[in-house]
């Protein structure tokens, strides 16, 4: 097992390095003078110089990079220009909202995606198959932030079943939290649900065409046992790998959904920071989200070795 | 540097063209490609003839018809400035296709170059792919938003941000095909005949790496349309008053109670474009990717 885990964890190092370089260079991409953008058009030369000095912008890019990396290794991503606090604190405070939204959406997408995919595969080429697959295709073609507005209109404005937005912490009021998170999680899950349903269906169909399935049927095994014990278990393997990638898509998608539903997560923090030109927050938020994504992928890869005995035992 | 006889065999293009024609006819007969083609074709026509179809100037304010409900005068209603939603959606559709096309071309060219370099030139493989892996480690939409915000709101910057975001996966797909094709006996045969790398890449490897690339680019197109809408919705896309599908939806969000029609139409336009492209992509994958053909 160690032979699988150690190299996989080590492989994250170059990836995280590139992630940090891209994040650092983001600030350098900003056209014109960052200081004058922060200070506004009326700032005097002295004010600009003061801002540059405070942010270290008067130094060369190499010096800035050295300082930035030095702090990064100490776990310091700098100070927010606007919020007057450290970037790490600001991001970590918002993280639970984003992660719980992502997690809920992932669970919804997996559960419904699997049900739809299995139903479609079990009824291959029937109208049920066609209907579910058309639904899945439409689901993954809808812009999710727009679908969120449609849900808000029907379920919050017209029917009044859910709030139109806003957040209630889980610890304060679990029912309120669930109420606040239902529509956002459904919105975020929609696209990936379609993706999973299609993937499960084609993976199931591939398995159902295999010899071992025919053997199982031939020896008189009941249809549902063949479907769930044989085909589904093998069909799971390619789908699990997808979940790592999916987490990244959902984390990115959560940014947009947080804005639609006014949820105080990392996404809204970053978008707010973009509007205020609070670059350290943008950098820090981006870096931490990418790091989470990298580690989720490692976890999924390791999980994969547990599910697939071929990978678990022997290399080649 | 003798002019290479193998490089200029006359008449090699005619069969290639015939082959291409046959391929296209075969593709045209595929039902998914037909259905998707009709949906997306309609969107393309709207975009091309936007100036002719749009009943109003998309940026013309009309303070006598603010937030007017859909009706005879304004088929899809008006927004808070009295601007005609239908006209704005038509022009927004054009913009989102333009951004999509730029992203597809840029992604295709850069993805192919990097994919071939990493797949064919061994010492470049590892360093370049690590950079691609690093870019893919960002949640896609978030990277695009941050890049677009840093570069500043404009059509070109939105396209640059989306290209940087989507190109790595395309490069990886091209690299995958190149790695397979370079080991094929016909490549070995070509090398044995004395063909140099440029010829091998251009005449043997690239054509055979094309099908997965074409399928991928169809999906890049659809994702780019979705992502451009997200950028505009977030306020980091092409700046207002230029109508883009995303910024019309953003505006509609503020009037979701009083005027829900503002946000409705642009979303439908995005959905039709993306759905059409996805159906075409599925059809292309069925007919171009032999591994899935028998599924």
* Of B136, B118, B128, the residue nearest B175 (C-alpha): B118
**Residue of A145, A160, A262, A300 to mutate, testing the B interface (most B Cβ within 10 Å of its Cβ):** A145
Report the complex ipTM. Answer: 0.85
Interface residue B257 vs chain A (CB under 8 A): yes
Residue scoring higher pLDDT (B1 or B239)? B239
Asked whether the beta carbons of residue B249 and residue A149 sit closer than 8 angstroms, the reply is: yes
Query: Are A145 and B149 in contact (CB < 8 Å)?
Result: no
For domain B91-293, the CATH superfamily is: MetI-like (1.10.3720.10)
| SS3 assignment for A223-270 | HHHHHHHHHHHHHHHHHHHHHHHHHHHHHHHHHHHHHHCCCCCHHHHH
Q: How far is CA B148 from CA A219, A261, B164, in A?
A: 60, 22, 10
* Confidence band, pLDDT 50/70/90 cuts, at residue A102: very high
The residue of chain A nearest to residue B164, with distances taken between CA atoms, is A22
Chain A hits for B130, Cβ within 8 Å: 14-15, 18
> What are B72's two structure tokens?
């005879």
The whole-number average pLDDT for the span B217-231 is 93
Average pLDDT over residues A11-35: 82
Q: Write out pLDDT tens, residues B24-33.
A: 777 777 788 8
Assign B195 to helix, strand or coil.
coil
To the nearest whole Å, the CA of A35 is away from the closest chain B CA by 14
pLDDT at B289: 65
Task: For the beta carbon of residue B64, count every other beta carbon within 10 angstroms.
Answer: 8
**pLDDT reported for residue A1:** 63
- How many Å apart are CA A92 and CA A288, to the nearest integer? 9
Q: What is the pTM of this model?
A: 0.87
Is the Cβ–Cβ distance between A248 and A294 less than 8 Å?
A: no
> So what's the pLDDT on residue B120?
87
Chain A residues touching residue B154 (CB < 8 angstroms) = none
Q: What is the pLDDT of residues A206-250, one digit of tens each?
A: 888 888 888 888 888 887 788 777 778 777 777 777 787 888 888
Residues 6 or more apart whose CB falls under 8 angstroms from that of A183 comprise A148, A151, A152, A155, A156, A162, A261
**Mean local confidence (pLDDT), B239-262:** 85
pLDDT in tens, A130-182: 999 999 999 989 999 999 999 988 898 888 888 888 888 888 888 888 888 88
pLDDT given for residue B271 in this prediction = 92
Residues A287-309 have a mean pLDDT of 82
pLDDT exceeds 70 at position B15: no
Residue ranges per structural domain of chain B = 91-293
pLDDT beyond 70 at B60: yes
Given a cut of 60, whether residue B46 has pLDDT beyond it is yes
Task: Kindly indicate the confidence band of residue B9, based on its pLDDT and cuts at 50, 70 and 90.
Answer: very low
Cα separation, B20 vs A241, whole angstroms: 36
Q: Report the SS3 class of residue B73.
A: coil
How many angstroms away from the CA of A306 is the closest CA of chain B?
24
């Amino acid at each position: 097992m160690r032979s699988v885990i150690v190299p996989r964890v080590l492989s994250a190092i170059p990836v995280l390095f590139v992630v940090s370089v891209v994040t650092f260079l983001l600030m350098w991409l900003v056209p014109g003078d960052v200081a004058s953008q922060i200070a506004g058009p009326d700032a005097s030369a002295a004010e600009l110089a003061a801002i540059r000095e405070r942010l270290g912008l008067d130094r060369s890019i190499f010096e800035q990079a050295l300082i930035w990396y030095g702090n990064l290794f100490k776990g310091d991503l700098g100070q927010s220009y606007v919020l007057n606090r450290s970037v790490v604190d600001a991001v970590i405070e918002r993280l639970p909202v984003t992660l719980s939204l992502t997690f809920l959406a992932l669970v919804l997408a997996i559960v419904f995606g699997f049900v739809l995919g299995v139903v479609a595969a079990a009824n291959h080429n029937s109208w049920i198959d066609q209907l579910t697959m058309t639904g899945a295709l439409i689901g993954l073609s809808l812009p999710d932030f727009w679908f969120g507005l449609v849900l808000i209109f029907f379920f919050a404005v017209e029917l009044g079943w859910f709030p139109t937005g806003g957040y209630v912490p889980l610890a304060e009021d679990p029912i309120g939290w669930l109420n606040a998170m239902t529509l956002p999680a459904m919105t975020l899950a929609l696209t990936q649900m379609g993706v999973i349903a299609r993937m499960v269906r084609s993976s199931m169909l591939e398995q159902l065409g295999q010899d071992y399935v025919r053997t199982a049927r031939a020896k008189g095994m009941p249809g549902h046992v063949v479907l769930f014990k044989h085909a589904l278990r093998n069909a799971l393997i390619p789908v699990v790998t997808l979940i790592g990638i999916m987490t990244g898509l959902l984390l990115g998608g959560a940014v947009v959904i947080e804005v639609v539903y006014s949820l105080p997560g990392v996404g809204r923090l970053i978008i707010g920071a973009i509007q205020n030109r609070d670059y350290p927050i943008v950098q820090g938020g981006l870096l931490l989200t990418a790091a989470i994504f990298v580690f989720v992928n490692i976890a999924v890869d390791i999980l994969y070795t547990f599910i697939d005995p071929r990978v678990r035992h022997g290399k080649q | 540097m003798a002019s290479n006889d193998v490089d200029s065999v006359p008449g090699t293009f005619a069969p290639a063209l015939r082959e291409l024609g046959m391929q296209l006819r075969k593709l045209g007969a595929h039902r998914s490609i037909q259905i998707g083609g009709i949906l997306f074709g309609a969107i393309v026509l709207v975009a091309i003839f936007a100036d002719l179809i749009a009943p109003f100037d998309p940026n013309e304010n009309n303070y006598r018809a603010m937030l007017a409900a859909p009706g005879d005068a304004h088929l899809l209603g008006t927004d808070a400035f009295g601007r005609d939603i239908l006209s704005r959606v038509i022009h927004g559709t054009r913009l989102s296709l333009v951004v999509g096309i730029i992203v597809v071309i840029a992604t295709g060219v850069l993805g192919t170059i990097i994919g071939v370099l990493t797949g064919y030139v061994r010492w470049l493989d590892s360093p370049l792919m690590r950079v691609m892996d690093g870019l893919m480690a960002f949640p896609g939409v978030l990277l695009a938003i941050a890049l677009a915000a840093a570069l500043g709101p404009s059509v070109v910057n939105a396209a640059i941000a989306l290209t940087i975001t989507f190109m790595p996966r395309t490069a990886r797909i091209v690299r995958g095909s190149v790695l397979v094709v370079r080991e094929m006996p016909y490549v070995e045969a070509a090398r044995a005949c004395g063909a140099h790398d440029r010829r091998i890449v251009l005449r043997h490897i690239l054509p055979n790496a094309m099908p997965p690339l074409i399928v991928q680019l169809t999906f890049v197109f659809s994702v780019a349309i979705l992502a451009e809408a997200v950028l505009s919705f977030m306020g980091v896309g092409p700046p207002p008053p230029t109508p883009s599908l995303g910024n019309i939806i953003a505006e509609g969000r503020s009037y979701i109670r009083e005027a829900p029609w503002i946000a409705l139409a642009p979303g439908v336009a995005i959905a039709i474009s993306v759905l059409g492209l996805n159906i075409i992509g599925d059809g292309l994958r069925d007919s171009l990717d032999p591994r899935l053909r028998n599924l």
